[in-house]
Amino acid sequence: MYEFDWSSILGALPILGHGMLVTLEITLTAIVVGIVWGTLLALARLSAIRPLAWLAAGYVNLFRAVPLVMVILWFYLIVPALLSDVLGVAQGSDIRMVSALVAFALFESAYYAEIIRAGVQSVPKGQVNAAYALGMPYSLTMRLVVLPQAFRNMLPLLLTQAIILFQDTSLVYVIGLADFFGAAYKVGDRDGRLVELVLFAGAVYFVLCFGASLLVRQLQKRFAT
Amino acid sequence: MSYSWNWAVFLSPTPSGDATYLGWLLQGLQWTLMLSLGAWVIAFLLGTLLGVLRTVPNRWLSRLAAAYVEAFRNVPLLVQLFTWYFVIPELLPRPWGDAIKQTDPLTQQFFAALLCLGCFTAARVCEQVRAGLGSLPRGQRAAGLALGLTLPQTYRYVLLPGALRLILPPLTSEFLNIFKNSAVASTIGLIELSRQSQQLVDYTAQAYEAFIAVTLMYVLINVAVMFGMRWLEHRTRIPGTIGGK
C-alpha cells in the first residue's frame, strides 16, 4: 500500500500561495473583461444592424467550438508576435502571463455573451417599449432599463460561470505557467510527492468551488421572487 | 510580419518517413474521436443511472448521487485527469499498480483519459437527466405504478423515454463539450488532435498552418455533431407536443 507523506506541502505553502494569486489574477481579469466585452458582444448580436450581429455571432460561435487548450496555445503563439511587431516590446520578457490573460478574457467573453444575451432576452418587451415611449434613446434604454434587470436575473448564472472559469484556469498548465495547480505539480514533481500534491490541490479546489456554489445557491433563493 | 506561409508542409514526410504530417493530424483526429465517443458511452450510461438515483424515493441513494455530482463538478478536469493518471495507479494494491505501469504508455494514457472524461461528464449528464425527470408531469410515475409496473419498469418504459427526449438539446451541448474537453488529454501525453498540433510546431515550425488546420478540425466536429443531433431531435420528437408532428 502507498505510504503518504504530506510534509512537503507545509514547506511549499509560499509557492502554492503565489500560484493561487496567479490563478485569482487570471480569474478576476477574465471575469471583468469577459462581462464588459461579453455585454457588448451580446448587444451586437441582438442588434438590428445585420453585419454587426453576424460578426458577433461568428466570434461567439468560433470561440465556443474550439477547446480552451487550443485557445491558450493560439494566444501563446499570437501575443508574442503582436507584442514585438506592433508594440515593439522586447521578446524574452515573460509573455506567458500576458498571453494567458488575453486568452482567458477573450475566450470567456464568448461564454458570458451567451449568458447575457439570454438575460437581455428574458426582459419583457414592454420595458423596452415603455422606455422608448418616454423618449429614451437606445443607449439609455439599455443602460437604465434593460441591463439592470437582465443582470439581476442572470446573476446566479454569471457567478456559476465564474466558478467554472476558476477551475478552467488550471489549463494554463499547457504553457507552463505556475498557477495554483501548476505550482502544486512542480512541487510534487520536485519532491517525488506528486500523489499528495495532486490530491491536496484537488481538495483545495473542491473546498473553494463547493463553498462558492453553496453561496450562489443561497443568493439564488434570496433573489427568487 | 516576416512569417513565411507553407501549406505544402502537410504533405511532406515526417522524420520517421512512414507518414506525412497530414497523416499525423488524421491520427490525432482518430484518437480524439475514439476518446470522446468512448467517454460519451460511459458518461451517458453512468449519468443516466445517477440521474435516476437522484429521483428515486430512497433518500440515501439520492444523496449518494448528489455527492458524486458535487465531487466531480467542483474539481478541475485537469486535476481529475492527473488523479486518474498519476495518483490512482499508486493507490491501488501494489501488484495492480505495477501491472498498470507495465502496459504500453499509450494504453495507460488512453484509459486514464477515457475514465476521467467519462466520469466527469457523467456528473453533468446526471444533472440534465434529473432536470428532465423532474419536468415530467407527476401523473406519469403514478400512472406507471398504478398499471402494476415495478419502479424500475416505470423508469425504463414510461419516465426515461420521455425525459431523455426532453433533454436532448442540453445533452447535445454536453456531447459537444466532451470533444472539446478531450483536448485536456494532451497534458498527459496522449497524441490526440491538439497534441499533434504542438508536435507539428516542434517539428516543422509552421505554427500557424498547424493550428489553423487543427482548429478547423474541431469546428468540423462541432458542425457534424450539431447536424447529427438535429436529425436525432427530429426523429425522436414526441407526437402531440408543440415540437412534435
A61-78 per-position pLDDT tens digit: 999 999 999 999 999 988
A6-32 per-position pLDDT tens digit: 888 888 899 999 999 999 999 999 999
Query: Could you tell me the CATH number of the domain that includes residue A151?
Result: 1.10.3720.10
B171, part of any domain: yes
B57, part of any domain: yes
A161, part of any domain: yes
Q: In this complex, do B77 and A77 lie within 8 Å of one another by their Cβ atoms?
A: no
Number of domains in chain A: 1
A1, part of any domain: no
Alpha helices (H) along chain A? 7-11, 13-45, 50-65, 68-85, 95-121, 125-133, 138-140, 147-168, 180-191, 194-223
Query: Could you tell me the CATH number of the domain that includes residue B25?
Result: 1.10.3720.10
Residue A83 structural domain? 7-223
Reported as type and span, the H/E element at residue B51 is helix B21-55
* Chain A contacts to B (CB-CB under 8 A): 1-2, 62, 65-70, 73-74, 77, 81, 85, 163, 167-168, 170-171, 173-174, 181, 185, 194-195, 198-199, 201-202, 205-206, 209-210, 213
B241, part of any domain: no
**ipTM metric:** 0.91
Q: Is B13 helix (H, G, I), strand (E, B) or coil?
A: strand
Residue A135 — left, alpha, or beta (φ > 0 → left; ψ -120 to 50 → alpha)? left
B91, part of any domain: yes
Q: Please name the amino acid found at residue B229.
A: M
B163, part of any domain: yes
B27, part of any domain: yes
Number of domains in chain B: 1
Identify the burial level of B58 via C-beta atoms within 10 angstroms of its C-beta, where 0-12 means exposed, 13-18 middle and 19 or more buried: exposed
B245, part of any domain: no
B211, part of any domain: yes
Alpha carbons B20 and B5: distance in angstroms, whole number? 18
**What does the buried/exposed string (b/e) look like for B195-214 if buried means 16 or more CB atoms within 10 Å of the residue's CB?**
bbbbbbbeebebbbbbbebb
Choose the mutation target among A3, A20, A73 for the interface with B, i.e. most B CBs under 10 Å. Answer: A73
Q: In this complex, do A198 and B79 lie within 8 Å of one another by their Cβ atoms?
A: yes
B49-106 per-position pLDDT tens digit: 999 999 999 999 999 999 999 999 999 999 999 999 999 999 988 888 888 888 899 9
Distance in Å, alpha carbon of B76 to nearest chain A alpha carbon:
5
Q: Can you give the pTM of this predicted structure?
A: 0.91
Beta bridge partners of B13: B20
The chain-wide mean pLDDT, for chain A, equals 91
Q: Is B106 on the interface with A (CB under 8 A)?
A: no
- Residue B97: which of B85, B79, B106, B81 has the closest Cα? B85
Residue B67 structural domain? 7-236
Q: Residue B196 has which C-alpha cell?
A: 499533434
Residue B1 predicted with pLDDT over 60: no
Q: Is B1 on the interface with A (CB under 8 A)?
A: yes
